[in-house]
Structure 1
Amino acid sequence: MTITDITGYTPNTSYSKLVAYFSMEFAIDQSLKIYSGGLGFLSGSHLRSAYELKQNLIGIGMLWKYGYYDQVRDKTNNMEPIFIQKDYSFLEDTGIVFSVPVHNGLVKVKAFLLRPETFGSAPLFLLGTDLEENDYVSRSITHRLYDPNETTRIAQSIILGIGGGLLLEQLNITPDIYHMNEGHAVPLNFYLYSKFKNLDEIKKRMVFTTHTPELAGNEEHDFALLKEMSFFYHLQEHEVKFILGLDGDKFNYTLAALKFSGKANGVSKLHGEVARKMWGGYSNICEIISITNAQNRNYWKDSAFDELIKANDEEGADVRKKEMKSLLFKEVANQTGKIFREDLITIVWARRFAAYKRADLIMYHWERFLQFLRETDMPVQIIWAGKPYPEDVDANKMFNQIIDKTRSFANCAVLTGYELGLSALLKKGADVWLNNPKMYREASGTSGMTAVMNGAVNLSLPDGWVPEFAVDGENCFIIQPAADELSQAERDAQENSNLMDILEDDVLPIYYQNPAKWFSMIQKGIEGVLPKFESSRMAIEYYEKMYNSI
């Protein structure tokens, strides 16, 4: 059976290999809340560009009953997570129900289809376990994306990997290539081993994208627990260790994926280098190349602004930018009761909210930050947004501390509900897109790409994708990183100082005193992002460098 038979989607004949793309999250549309952040934004853009190119690719994901979470405010106006059931009439119940072994029992799984024409994406199959045939524990497997319970998280990977493999069997589809977007789907390989009985046969068909540039961030669990959970399908622990050349008590998802795959990639040139250093000392891992992440222009662009930039219409672009800012500022007023002005420079920090991304770096030196906010000759407005992991106590505390610290400032706002819709508003309304993670911790980062497409200028440390794009002072502003040998506290202090210097000495004077230069930076930013960081380039590269070369 073919994709066309099942979905009506007819691939272009130039993409002959059929690819099954496995990801724990996909950000396809604001209405389909099955994603948390950058991993989902990336996979969503990949499926959108695959659809535009008519690539021979289908997505395999999970149908999360409560999504990631809904980010709302409590009675003090601080952020809190709540979990609300999601219902999607636009998903097609395929009628396919099958069983997946989990924890020495059988869990019923139902497959749903997001048809390509619904949102303009390659076909996407979503797996759900919230069925009457299952007990509550089994039903809860697909309740929450990245459930905090260890065994539930393990079961989620089993459903995605083994369940995805079994679904393809039910559909009578035999992919030429299986693509794991992150290591969550690694149980797929144990299902395939039951079919091929040979590691080399799997390597001919498996590719892997890693997104995590630090060892501690790569998921691992005790072998004994994984065996008890049926993670290895029909294999015993000693067989897994023998096949993959592993030892010890812990099974690392990323290391196993690198041993099962014929080829892997990091998600920027810098991350590829970091990944090769991280994993290069292990035996029998596959080659790790770099394919830099990208985002779908057609989804993210403002069409009117895009046309004005093409026409080199500085005045028209400025008018449209103010209109986009006005739309964002309506949401600022709605959430915070603060009125922002379209003629003032607006700095935005917005992305997945994690400690290493340092949302509060700009206020590290508090007195200098206060003076910056009180600037009258070149006034500023600052907006923060992002979703911390619900159980990340420190990140949630930081989020609410920023709310508390800036509550009394009319030119500072913290927004909740950071999903595709708010992300688009922020990118279209930002003048400056601020990115200041701890160096070497950002594998790629893509928010700055889509901000640039909408006339924002990046202000960033040279991490992730940025070194491939940046011409400091021409298409962006680069924050000079502190020396690697300094302590983290010293680096935070130095990089805060470097950030504030650039804002005060370069960013604000250019914006307010040299609008022609600012417009030139916007133009050069867009020229630097398109087409190099547009996801059709990325989708084509995956075929050329991964799918067709193993």
Structure 2
Amino acid sequence: MISQLPAAFRPPYSIDDRFKKSVVYFSMEIAADQALKTYSGGLGFLAGSHMKSAFELNQNLIGISLLWKYGYYDQVRKTDNAMDVQFREKLYFFLQDTGIEFTLDIAGRPVRVRAYYLDPKHFQTVPLFFLTSDIDGNDGAARSISYRLYDNDTRLKIAQCMLLGIGGAKLIDALGATPDVYHLNEAHALSAAFYLYQKLGSADEVRKRMVFTTHTPEEAGNEKHDIYLLNEMSFFGGVSMDRIREISGIQDNVFNHSLVALRLSRQANGVSKLHGEVARQMWGRYEGICPIGHVTNAQNQRYWTDSTIETARLAEDKEAIAARKLELKRPLFRIVADQVGKLFNPNVLTLVWARRFATYKRPDLLTQDLERFTWLLNQTNYPVQIIWAGKPYPMDGGATDVFNHLYYLSHLFPNMAVLTGHELGLSKMLKDGSDGWLNTPIVGREASGTSGMTAAMNGSVNISTNDGWVREFTKPGENSFLVPEADPLLPDHARDEQDRDNLFDLIEHEILPMYYDRPADWQALVLRSMNDVNAFFGANRMAAEYYEKIY
């Protein structure tokens, strides 16, 4: 397919024979670089790493996403320091106008779409194309489709999915390309399947070309809409309702996007070994779905890993790793001082909890036992510093309340900080500067998670519940620390209490004494962690595995 692109849009490499099959990758968000704010969190981080590793491996793959005028949102503070959501226009002079424009029919109205191109030379990705409806000739409603990533207005969100799916498929046609594989990273671009159906004439022909990656381990978390609303908005591109019901298998009025993606793909995958098992159990009762395997998520080492610490790892120089960690703490602690006015000590064990703020991830787990948390932060035998960061979904009042509660609680402790602005840049500094990486999701709720991978690449030790990718990585006490699994039959409050107590026990009785009293053991564990994460959880392995197992 890359050879079919106009010369201006081809990457600076020849396709590797192992990866000749042509693939177009659809993702609602891609985190290519801090400078391009077209992502919200883990899904985008993952997609960005995939596109970088596909570049490194010389794969015959291009990516399509949307050019969000306001990004996800800018995380700032109000005058009382409560978290605030700011939508600000982003300008990208490094994106190239392709000159390609076309029209989509959305809810009976024509919407003009323009495509922009990200040259691989800028951020070392495969060719990436970004679609926008924010162009002259569209009215305000049409322009707003590409304003905000994951808009909470139902009709607008459907329109965004159509812009990605149908718009992306139309872009491929406009480029003159005929890909072998259409890869849907989540079901947002599902409308592309109905565009292909009209073009190819049968559902079987669609299935020959489409594959699907699901990231959602709970059926209730998958996108659903009223089938008649979708039809009204032209989501199905003019295919009759009778035919839609026939090819999708949906006979009631609730259109489950992930279920239909499973029925119109030839292969699907979860994003960790555990998630593959969960997905097969979750969807196995439905008829007509494709096989579901797994490709465990990973992150791009070239982008995420500090070069000095990587050199020390390859030399197995534990002292050099420890010295570099002290250096990497300093720029992070300058951010802490700048944002919250606290001076952290590089010689103190520093724990970080940083990822998308969602209640199932339990960012406030430790603070729920305030007496024990206070003792931990106030004791001086084994001092500890803790930093939180992460963006809640802007309309998620519960997660925002948790963020604000942690911030106000931090006023009581000079060694506790809650930061704003969690994007690629801050995420990198947090992983570079932390000694321990806290990961506290309810077991069974995390499809994979990836933040702990890039933390481990930079010498930060995972301290985690036994969920997602961690199950494939952890050797408790050897390369990480694992919170003993609570009885899954316990009520929620009792499960949280047991997890909390076990996490405190780990920190107080194993982690702190090892860090301060047995530094040689700590450095040996850090090195094993770095070696083990680099052995399997690099995105080059993942990108190759998609070709071998899915495409």
Q: Is the shorter-chain TM-score for this pair beyond 0.5, marking a shared fold?
A: yes
- The residue identity in structure 2 corresponding to 1:159 is L
Q: Which residue number corresponds to residue 55 of structure 1?
A: 59
Task: Supply the distance in 2 between the matched residues of 1:439 and 1:142 (Cα, whole angstroms).
Answer: 35
Shift of 1:531: 2.8
1:532 aligns with 2:518: no
Shift of 1:414: 0.2
Task: Supply the distance in 2 between the matched residues of 1:531 and 1:188 (Cα, whole angstroms).
Answer: 36
The CA deviation string for residues 243-296 of structure 1, in whole angstroms up to 9 with x for no partner, is 122211110110010001000000000000000011000001000001000000
Q: What's the secondary structure of 2:330's corresponding residue? A: helix
Kept after mapping to 2: 8 A contact 1:531/1:537: no
Q: What's the secondary structure of 2:18's corresponding residue? A: coil
Q: What's the secondary structure of 1:407's corresponding residue? A: helix
Q: Which residue number corresponds to residue 4 of structure 2?
A: 2
Shift of 1:78: 2.2
Q: Which residue number corresponds to residue 245 of structure 1?
A: 249
Q: Which residue number corresponds to residue 43 of structure 1?
A: 47
The CA deviation string for residues 449-481 of structure 1, in whole angstroms up to 9 with x for no partner, is 000000000000110000100000000000012
The CA deviation string for residues 70-123 of structure 1, in whole angstroms up to 9 with x for no partner, is 001111222111001000000000011100110011100000000111110000
The CA deviation string for residues 148-200 of structure 1, in whole angstroms up to 9 with x for no partner, is 11000000000000000001111111111000000000000000000112111
Task: Supply the distance in 1 between the matched residues of 2:18 and 2:322 (Cα, whole angstroms).
Answer: 42
Q: What's the secondary structure of 2:388's corresponding residue? A: strand
Shift of 1:44: 0.2
Which of 347, 351, 358 is equivalent to 1:354?
358
- The normalised TM-score by structure 2 is 0.98
Aligned residues with identical type, % of pairs = 52
Q: What's the secondary structure of 1:207's corresponding residue? A: strand
- Show the 5 A alignment for 1:170-181: 170-181=174-185
Unpaired segments ≥5 residues, structure 1:
none
Q: CA RMSD in A?
A: 0.9
Kept after mapping to 1: 8 A contact 2:313/2:531: no
Q: What's the secondary structure of 1:174's corresponding residue? A: coil
Q: Which residue number corresponds to residue 107 of structure 1?
A: 111
Q: Which residue number corresponds to residue 501 of structure 1?
A: 505
Kept after mapping to 2: 8 A contact 1:383/1:412: yes
Q: What's the secondary structure of 2:536's corresponding residue? A: coil
Which of 530, 546, 551 is equivalent to 1:542?
546
Unpaired segments ≥5 residues, structure 2:
none
Q: What's the secondary structure of 1:530's corresponding residue? A: helix
Task: Supply the distance in 2 between the matched residues of 1:71 and 1:23 (Cα, whole angstroms).
Answer: 23
Task: Supply the distance in 1 between the matched residues of 2:240 and 2:411 (Cα, whole angstroms).
Answer: 56
Task: Supply the distance in 2 between the matched residues of 1:459 and 1:317 (Cα, whole angstroms).
Answer: 19
1:382 aligns with 2:378: no
How has the CA–CA distance of structure 1 residues 5 and 348 changed in structure 2, closer, same or farther, with 3 Å as cutoff? Answer: same
Task: Supply the distance in 2 between the matched residues of 1:168 and 1:39 (Cα, whole angstroms).
Answer: 23
1:269 aligns with 2:273: yes
Shift of 1:236: 2.3
- The residue identity in structure 1 corresponding to 2:367 is M
Shift of 1:305: 1.1
Shift of 1:409: 0.9
- The residue identity in structure 2 corresponding to 1:5 is A
Q: Which residue number corresponds to residue 221 of structure 2?
A: 217
The CA deviation string for residues 25-73 of structure 1, in whole angstroms up to 9 with x for no partner, is 0000000000000000000000000001110000010000000000011
Q: Which residue number corresponds to residue 308 of structure 2?
A: 304
Q: What's the secondary structure of 2:171's corresponding residue? A: helix
Q: Which residue number corresponds to residue 153 of structure 1?
A: 157
Task: Supply the distance in 2 between the matched residues of 1:62 and 1:23 (Cα, whole angstroms).
Answer: 8
Shift of 1:6: 4.0
Q: Which residue number corresponds to residue 328 of structure 2?
A: 324
Task: Supply the distance in 2 between the matched residues of 1:494 and 1:519 (Cα, whole angstroms).
Answer: 29
Q: Which residue number corresponds to residue 447 of structure 1?
A: 451
Q: Which residue number corresponds to residue 260 of structure 1?
A: 264
Which of 408, 412, 432 is equivalent to 1:408?
412
Q: Which residue number corresponds to residue 211 of structure 2?
A: 207
Shift of 1:15: 1.6
- Show the 5 A alignment for 1:61-76: 61-76=65-80
Q: What's the secondary structure of 2:148's corresponding residue? A: coil
Q: What's the secondary structure of 1:540's corresponding residue? A: helix
- The residue identity in structure 1 corresponding to 2:450 is T
Kept after mapping to 1: 8 A contact 2:5/2:175: no
Kept after mapping to 2: 8 A contact 1:23/1:185: yes
1:89 aligns with 2:103: no
- The residue identity in structure 1 corresponding to 2:515 is Y
- The normalised TM-score by structure 1 is 0.98
Task: Supply the distance in 2 between the matched residues of 1:4 and 1:18 (Cα, whole angstroms).
Answer: 15
Q: What's the secondary structure of 1:349's corresponding residue? A: strand
Kept after mapping to 1: 8 A contact 2:351/2:386: yes
- The residue identity in structure 2 corresponding to 1:481 is E
Which of 372, 378, 383 is equivalent to 2:376?
372
Kept after mapping to 1: 8 A contact 2:6/2:175: no
Shift of 1:327: 1.0
Q: What's the secondary structure of 2:237's corresponding residue? A: coil
Q: Matched residue pairs, number?
A: 547
Kept after mapping to 2: 8 A contact 1:59/1:123: yes
Task: Supply the distance in 2 between the matched residues of 1:312 and 1:34 (Cα, whole angstroms).
Answer: 37
Task: Supply the distance in 2 between the matched residues of 1:310 and 1:530 (Cα, whole angstroms).
Answer: 11
Kept after mapping to 1: 8 A contact 2:49/2:299: yes
Greater CA drift, 341-350 or 227-236? 227-236
